[in-house]
Amino acid sequence: MKKNFRTCTLVVLLALCMVLMGCSPGNSGANSSGNAGNQVSPSASPSGGTVETGSNPTEWTFDQSEKIRFIDSVGYTPKVKKLTIQTNNRVIDEGNLVDKWLENQLGVEIDWIILSSKELSTKLNLLSASSSLPDVVTLPSNTNVNDYYNLLNSGLLLDIEDLLNQYGKHIRQVRTDEQIEVLRHTDGKLYALNSNVESDTEMTMIRKDWLDKLNLAIPKTTSEFRDVMYAFVHNDPDGNGQDDTFGYYGYSGRKQTFSIFWSAFNANPYQWVWGDDGSIVHGVTKTDELIEAVSYLQSMYADGLINQDYLTASNTSYQDMATANRQGCTEAQLWFSDHYMQAMYLYGNGDPNTDWICLPGLNGGSYLTFNNPNCRQYTCITVDSKDPVLGMLYLDLLAHTDVYKFIRMGYEGEHYYHDEELGVDKLVDKYLKDNSLLINQGITATYAMPFLATDPAPGQFTARTESFRQARRAGEKAYYAAIYLPIPKIEENLLNAGMSDYISQVINETIMDSSKNVASSINEMVNTLYAKYNLKTQTEYANEYADLLGLKP
Amino acid sequence: MQVVIYIILVILCIAFVVPVWHVIMYSISKNTLTGGTQLFLYPRGISFTGYKIVLKDSLLWRSYLNTIIVTGVGTALNLVMTFLAAYPLTRRDLKGRTIIQYMIFITMLFSGGIIPTYLIVRSLGMVDTLWALFIPNIVSAYNIFVLRNFLQSIPESLLEAARIDSAGEFYILMRIIIPLSKPVLAVLGLLYGVGHWNAWFNCIIYINNTKLYTLQALLRQILFTMGSNNYFGYDPELAAASMPEIVQMCVVVVATVPILCVYPFLQKYFVKGVTIGAVKG
C-alpha cells in the first residue's frame, strides 16, 4: 500500500514539474515577452517599410459637421479594427460623446484600459507577458517612471521618430524640438512623447487689481514683495472695512509652496543641483542660500504676511479663499485661473473685477516651477501594436488644439456657448447635468491625458489673463536649476528615503517658530541628513544615475 | 479580570467603530465646514450633496449590478463546485482519494502565479467578461477541506440506514447530506459572498471595459482619482461642493453599507464558521 502511494506521489510530482516547466517563461521561446521585446518585428517597425504613407494628406480642420474624417484626410487605411489605449486614473463611460467621435474620426473601435498608477505595473506586466500590450500607453513620470524604463529596457516600446515625422504634424506644431529631444534615449532613439510639460508648471499669482487700488507696483524683489504683502494684510485692499485679507496664501505644506522664494534666494532644499565642480549635489548642502531664504520666510510668517495655517490648509481652500476675495497672492497650479474663473462665472462666486496676474520672479529668479521638468507623462506606442501608424494618428488627432477644445467642451451651440459679455466660452448647464460627475470628468480628463495640446481649453476661462497665457508658453524659461533624475523606483526610494519629508519638516518648523535660530536648524538638518539619511551615499547614487542616463554635460 | 476584559473590548470596539462613524458623519457634513484633519463625531451642517452626486452616476449603479451578479452567481457556483469536490472525498470507496486530496492540498501551498493564470484566463476568452471574476477562483482548497471535514462528521450509520430503506445515492445526497450541511454551506456561502463583494483585484486585472467594473474596483478608481482638482473641473455641483473628500466618503458608505446590513443576520454563522469542520468527526 505504502509502495503504491509513493509511486503515485512521484508520478504526481513529476506531472506537476512538467506543468510548471510548461508555464515557465524560458520554455516559451521566441514568443516570450522578453525576447519579443528585444526583437521588434519588422512589420511593426515604422522603419520596416510597411508604413503606408499618405503622400498628400488633405488639410484637416475640426469640422462640426464632420464632412471629412481625420483618417481620410491623412489618406491612411487602418490595418486593424480596434485600437487599444491605456490611460490613467480616470473612469469613463465607454460609448460617450467623445469616444464615439474619436472612433468615427479614426475609423476603428477604441478600447480603453483605464488604470490608476497603483495597478499600472501589474497590469502592464500581465499584458506584456501575453504579448497584448495596448497600442498606446501613457505612463505618469512621477509614479510610473520605472514602468517606462522596464518597458523600454525590455524592448517593448517602439522607436516613434519616423512615425512622428510622418504622421505627427499637429504634435510637431505644439511641441518644440527641445521638448521632444528631452526624452531621446541614450541609444539615440525616441520612445516616448512628452506630455505637456507646462501642465505641471506652478507659479505664483498676485492680485493686480489690489496692487492698483493700493497704488503699488508689481514687486520685483523679496523686499518689495514683503512691503506689498504688508499692504495686502493691513491696508484693506478689498475695501470692506474689515481686517480679513491674507497676504501670501500657501496650502498643504507642499514643497512647491515657497518655490518662488527658493528661486529668489537660489536655494534648492528639495532638489538635486549641479555643484561647482560639475557633479550633482543635493541643494540642501548649499546652506548659505537656504538659511537666507528660510530666514526671510520665518520673518514673513512671524509678521502674519503668510497665512498661519499654510501647513494644514486643504488643497481646495486656496481656491475657496480666492473666490471669497480674501487672498492677495498665492501659489497656483497652472489651472488656477481656470478654477477661479469657472467658480466666478458658473456659480456667481468671487468678484468679476478680480485680476490675477502671474508674479514675475523675485530678485531675478524664476516665476515658474516644475515638479518634473523633463516630463510629466510618457506617451508611447508599443511593439505589440498591430498598427503603430494608427496609434500615432490618434495622438496627432489629440494634439489638434480644436480637438482638445471639443474634448473638454463638446460642440458649440449644443454643449457650450460663447459669452460675448465676458468674452469666454461657457458650458451649457444641461450638458453638465446630463453628464454626471464621474462620466463627465472622466471624459475630459481621460482623453486629455496625453496633454499634447499646448493650450488646455483655449479661450475658455483664461482669456482675461494674458500674463497667465504667457506663463503657459514660457515653460522653457522655468526653474531649471533643479535636475530631474528619472530614476527607477527602487533607486528613487533609496535616493529619497524620507529625506524630503525630513527636510520639509525641519524647514516648516523653523519657519513657524520664530524663536528658532535658522542657521543652527539648517546646519543641524544637514548634519542629520549625512548621519541618518546617508546623504553621502545618495549623492553618489545620484551621480551614478546621472552618468547612466547621460545627464551630465 | 472581567473588568479588564470589558475595558479591552470597549477600546477595541471604539477603535473599530469610530473610523466608520467618522466616514458617515463626514459624508453628510456641509462642504464649507469640512476639510483639515479633524475627527467628525457629529455632522457639521447637514448636506447630502455628495450622495446626490454619487447616486446619480450611472457607472455606480452599473457597478452595483455587476457586483450583485458576481456575488450571487459566483457564490452559487462556489458552493456547488466546492460541494462537488468535497463530497466525493468523504466516500471511502473513492479510489485515489488520498492522492486527490494531496493534489488539492498542494494548491494551498503553491499557486501558478498571476501571469500564468492571466494567460489561461485570456486564452479561454474570459478577459473583459464577468466570467473572469468568478471562474478562476471557483473553488477554494481550504473550503473544500472544511466542508469535507464537516461531511465526514455525519454518521455513516445514518447513510446505511437510508440505504437499508432502499434510498439511492442521489436521494441520500439530496435528502440527507445537503439538508444536514446547511450550516456549513451558510458559512461557506458567507465567506465566498463577502469575498466576492470585497474583491477588486481580479476586476482590475481582467476587466478593461468600465461598464463591467465591480463596485469595489470603481470605488478604488474614484478614491485614487478624486484628489485631483482637475477631476472636478466642470461639474457645477461638485465644484460648488468643492470638497472631493465628501464624495470619497459617500462612495465608501455606499459601497459598504449593503454588506454591513447583511452581517448581523449572518453573524451566528460566522461564529459557527470558527469551529465548524475544525474537528474531524
Confidence class for position A437, pLDDT limits 50, 70, 90 = very low
Q: What is the pLDDT of residue A487?
A: 40
Letter for the amino acid at A297?
L
- Find which of A437, A460, A462 to mutate to test the B interface (most B CBs within 10 Å of its CB): A437
Calculate mean pLDDT across residues B196-213: 89
Q: What is the mean pLDDT of residues A192-215?
A: 75
- The shortest CB-CB distance from A342 to any of B53, B205, B239 is to B239
How far from the centroid of its chain's Cα atoms is residue A244's Cα?
35
Write down the pLDDT at residue B37: 53
Cα–Cα nearest to A158, from A396, A392, A377: A392
Residues of B in contact with A407 (CB under 8 A): none
Query: Does the pLDDT at position A368 exceed 90?
Result: no
- pLDDT reported for residue A89: 55
Query: Which of B275 and A357 is assigned the larger pLDDT?
Result: A357
Q: In the sheet that A280-282 helps form, which strands lie side by side, from edge to edge? A: A280-282, A272-274, A482-483
Provide, as residue numbers in chain B, all residues whose Cβ is less than 8 Å from the Cβ of A91: 59, 210, 213, 218, 221-222, 225
User: Does B231 score more than 70 pLDDT?
Assistant: no
Are B37 and A312 within 8 A, CB to CB?
A: yes
- pLDDT band at A249; cut points 50, 70, 90: confident
Interface test with A, best of B30, B64, B114, B230 (most A CBs within 10 A): B230
Of B102, B218, B234, the CB nearest to A91: B218
pLDDT digits (tens, 9 = 90+) for A485-499: 444 333 444 456 567
Q: State yes or no: pLDDT of A385 exceeds 90.
A: yes
B225 contact residues in A (CB cutoff 8 A): 89-91, 116
Residue with cell 516651477: A369
**CB proximity A282 to B under 8 Å:** no
Choose between B280 and A252: higher pLDDT.
A252
* Residue A226 C-alpha, separation from nearest chain B C-alpha, in angstroms: 28
Residue of B nearest to A33 (CA): B115
Give CA–CA dist A289/A269, Å, rounded.
Answer: 10
Are A194 and A175 in contact by the 8 Å Cβ rule? The answer is yes
Residue A26: is its pLDDT beyond 60?
no
* B31 vs B156 pLDDT, higher one: B156
Residues in chain A within 8 Å Cβ distance of B56 = 436
Residues of B in contact with A118 (CB under 8 A): 224
| pLDDT in the model for residue A445 | 47
pLDDT for A152? 87
Contact assignment for B58 to A436 by CB distance below 8 Å: yes
Strands A82-88 and A368-370: unpaired
Would an 8 Å CB–CB cutoff place A90 in contact with chain B? yes
Q: A416-419 and A201-207: which strand pairing?
A: unpaired
Q: Copy the grid coordinates of residue B5.
A: 476584559
Residue type, B223: L
H or E, element range at A330: strand A327-333
Best mutation target among A117, A133, A438 (most B Cβ atoms within 10 Å) is: A438
Put simply, the answer to whether A132 touches B122 (Cβ < 8 Å) is yes
- B232–chain A Cβ distance below 8 A for any pair: yes
Instruction: Give the three cell numbers for residue A181.
Output: 529631444
Across the interface, whether the CB atoms of A91 and B222 are under 8 A apart is answered yes
More confident residue, B266 or B118: B118
B170 — contact with chain A (CB < 8 Å)? no
Are A111 and B208 spatial neighbours (Cβ–Cβ below 8 Å)?
yes
Q: Are strands A377-381 and A193-194 parallel, antiparallel or unpaired?
A: antiparallel
Find the radius of gyration of the CA atoms of chain B: 24
* B61, B102, B234, B250: best to mutate for the A interface, most A CBs within 10 A: B234
**Residue A463 reports pLDDT greater than 50:** no
Q: Is residue B222 less than 8 Å (CB to CB) from chain A?
A: yes
Residue B230 has pLDDT above 70, yes or no: no
A112–chain B Cβ distance below 8 A for any pair: yes
pLDDT given at position B157: 87
DSSP class per residue in A111-144: EEEEE-HHHHHHHHHHHHHTT---SEEEEEHHHH
B220 interaction partners in chain A (CB closer than 8 Å): 116
Give tens-digit pLDDT for A388-426.
999 999 988 888 877 877 776 677 887 777 767 655 566
At A460 the pLDDT is 31
If one counts every other C-beta atom within 10 angstroms of the C-beta of residue B250, the result is 24
Give contacts of A 413-472 with B, CB under 8 A.
427, 429, 432, 436-441, 444-445
Residue from A364, A337, A371, A301 nearest A464 by CA:
A337
pTM exceeds 0.80, yes or no:
no
Interchain proximity A91–B106, CB inside 8 Å: no
- Gap from B219 CA to chain A (nearest CA, Å): 10
Give the pLDDT band of residue A75 (cuts 50, 70, 90): confident
Chain A nearest CA to B115, separation (Å): 6
In three-state secondary structure terms, B27 is helix
- pLDDT at position A324 is 65
Q: What is the mean pLDDT of residues A369-378?
A: 58
User: What confidence score (pLDDT) does residue A423 get?
Assistant: 57
A314–chain B Cβ distance below 8 A for any pair: yes
Higher pLDDT, A100 or A232: A232
List all residues 6 or more positions away from B4 whose beta carbon is below 8 Å from its beta carbon. none
The closest alpha carbon to B56, from B200, B232, B188, B237, belongs to B237
Helix axes B215-225, B182-198, angle to 10 degrees: 30
The CA distance from A90 to the nearest CA of chain B, in Å, is: 7
Q: Which of A117, A316, A438 sits opposite B229 (nearest CB)?
A: A316
Handedness of CA B30, B32, B36, B38 (dihedral sign): negative
Quick check: A323 pLDDT over 80?
no
Q: In this complex, do A116 and B224 lie within 8 Å of one another by their Cβ atoms? A: yes
Are B213 and A91 in contact (CB < 8 Å)?
yes
Contacts of B122 (CB under 8 A, 6+ apart): A130, A132
CB contact B157 to A (< 8 Å): no
Q: Does residue A47 surpass a pLDDT of 60? A: no
pLDDT at B278: 52
CB pairs under 8 A between A and B: 142
- What is the amino acid identity at position A93? D
Q: What is the pLDDT of residues B50-74, one digit of tens each?
A: 787 777 777 788 888 999 999 999 9
Question: Which of A314, A339, A436 lies closest to B57 in CB terms?
Answer: A436
pLDDT score, position A550: 60
Subunit contact A93:B59, Cβ cutoff 8 A: yes
Closest by Cβ to A89, choosing from B56, B205, B225: B225
The pLDDT of residue B194 is above 50: yes
Average pLDDT, chain A: 71
Which pLDDT does position B133 carry in this prediction?
93
Q: Under a CB-based contact definition with an 8 Å cutoff, are residues A93 and A439 in contact?
A: yes
Q: How confident is the model at residue B118 (pLDDT cuts 50, 70, 90)?
A: very high
Q: Which of A25-34, A186-195, A197-206, B230-239 shows the lowest mean pLDDT across its residues?
A: A25-34
In the prediction, which pLDDT does A420 show? 72
Give me the pLDDT at residue A4, please.
Answer: 61
Q: Which residue of A has its CA nearest to B114?
A: A126
Neighboring chain A residues of B35 at a CB cutoff of 8 Å = 314, 316-317
In angstroms, the CA A304 to CA A396 distance is 49
pLDDT for A223: 96
Question: Residues A302-317: what's their mean pLDDT?
Answer: 80
Average pLDDT over residues A196-200: 50
CA angle A517, A519, A520 (to 5 degrees): 65
B243 close contact with A: CB closer than 8 A:
yes
Structure-model confidence comparison of residues A181 and A302, the more confident one: A302
Taking the Cβ of residue A89 and every Cβ of chain B, the question of whether any pair is shorter than 8 Å is answered with yes
The pLDDT confidence band at residue B78, using thresholds 50, 70 and 90, is very high
Name the region of A89 (left: φ>0; alpha: ψ -120 to 50; beta: rest).
Answer: left
